[in-house]
Amino acid sequence: MPVDQHIAALLAMAQQADLPPMYEGTPDVGRAQYLAMTTGLRGPEQVVPVGSTEDITVPGAEGDLPARVYRPEGEGPFPTVVFFHGGGWVIGDLETHDNMARHVCRGADAVVVSVDYRLAPEHPFPAAADDAVASARWIAAHLHRFGGDDRLAVAGDSAGGNLSAVVAQTLHAEGTALTGQLLIYPAVDAEGEYASRVENARGYFLEQPTMDWFYGHYAGAWEDAKDPRLAPLHGKDLSQQPPTVIVTAEFDPLRDEGEAYGEALRAAGVEVDVTRYDGLIHGFFDMGTISPAAQQAIDETCARFRQTLHG
């Protein structure tokens, strides 16, 4: 089907603005652009309501990391979801993904702890993965401070979906069980060859040159592109992964690898719910304010994740 008309209008506006592509600039410029595109365009009336928020720090691999706790309305106990933001491991932060974390909190009826891991190129691979694992370990050991019971899950979009999958595999190997994971158009196979990377390489917000720019900053010097901490699709044993919700978008370069991860999990005996949203693009999980179709996809995704967490 064609690109959703509301998103098509956004893409046309971006093209008319004739801004230099992110991959031609520096990471600092890219971070500023991304912040302006997200929080800079979000009015107070567009902030998803939750019960409360609290800014804290959590231990990372080499020091404390900023984090934000989102609590749903009502009385617990609730599941605790560790959330990792997208942005190619180079851009993005707590603010750019504030509404995404709020959607998961409200829609899945869970306490969400959004973790602001270290970014590349200042901190290249495996810094982000190490921070994600270290923070999740600590949160797992302190669930009484968050959701209040033993239900622990992970969630993230794009690069954050990558980190969520890495955390799920690592924590399982260490003996920490997860209740579920939500992977939103995840990057899970660094150098795989997929039709969607060719079909959707240009014109749909996330472009192949930008993906190359992200990867070059994060892991360009790492020789093993199939390292499971970088490409969790190549994890050695997927059989004990938690029930998984994966969502992809029709016009997204990452579409096919996200779906391939779902197929690999299913083949390993894992309960998997994979949904492709036709007409949508990479980043749709933050486009509900401009696209009713994107909002419907967000609501449906959070409802399915809620079912995974609450049974």
Say whether pLDDT at 90 is over 90: yes
What is the pLDDT averaged over residues 273-278? 98
Say whether pLDDT at 45 is over 90: no
What is the pLDDT averaged over residues 6-22? 89
Q: Over pLDDT 90: what percentage of the chain? A: 92
Return the HEC string of 80-134: EEEEECCCCCCCCCCCCCHHHHHHHHHHHCCEEEEECCCCCCCCCCCHHHHHHHH
Find the radius of gyration of the CA atoms of the chain. 18
Give the model's pLDDT for residue 195. 97
β-strand pairing of 78-84 with 52-59: unpaired
Say whether pLDDT at 18 is over 80: no
Q: How confident is the model at residue 24 (pLDDT cuts 50, 70, 90)?
A: very high
Say whether pLDDT at 15 is over 90: no
290 within 8 A of 17, measured Cβ to Cβ: no
Q: How confident is the model at residue 41 (pLDDT cuts 50, 70, 90)?
A: confident
What is the pLDDT averaged over residues 92-120? 98
Q: How confident is the model at residue 42 (pLDDT cuts 50, 70, 90)?
A: confident
β-strand pairing of 111-115 with 78-84: parallel
DSSP codes, 161-228: HHHHHHHHHHHHHHT---SEEEEES----TT---HHHHHTSSSSSS-HHHHHHHHHHHHTT-S-TT-T
Give the model's pLDDT for residue 40. 80
CA–CA distance, 247 with 115 (Å, rounded to integer)? 21
Say whether pLDDT at 14 is over 90: no
Q: How confident is the model at residue 272 (pLDDT cuts 50, 70, 90)?
A: very high
Kindly report whether the global pTM for this prediction surpasses the value 0.75.
yes
Quote the Cα angle for 281-28-222, to 5°.
Answer: 75
Say whether pLDDT at 59 is over 80: yes
Q: How confident is the model at residue 299 (pLDDT cuts 50, 70, 90)?
A: very high
Cα torsion 10, 35, 210, 193: sign? negative
What is the pLDDT averaged over residues 218-239? 96
Residue type for position 269: G
What average pLDDT does the chain have? 96
Say whether pLDDT at 16 is over 90: no
Maximum Cα–Cα distance across the chain: 52
Say whether pLDDT at 74 is over 90: yes
Give the model's pLDDT for residue 26. 97
Say whether pLDDT at 123 is over 80: yes
Q: What is the set of active-site residues?
A: 158, 252, 282
**With 0-12 CB in 10 A as exposed, 13-18 as middle and 19+ as buried, what is 95?**
middle
What is the pLDDT averaged over residues 69-78? 95
Give the model's pLDDT for residue 131. 99
Query: If you ran DSSP here, which 8-state letter would residue 25 be given?
Result: S
Give the model's pLDDT for residue 240. 94
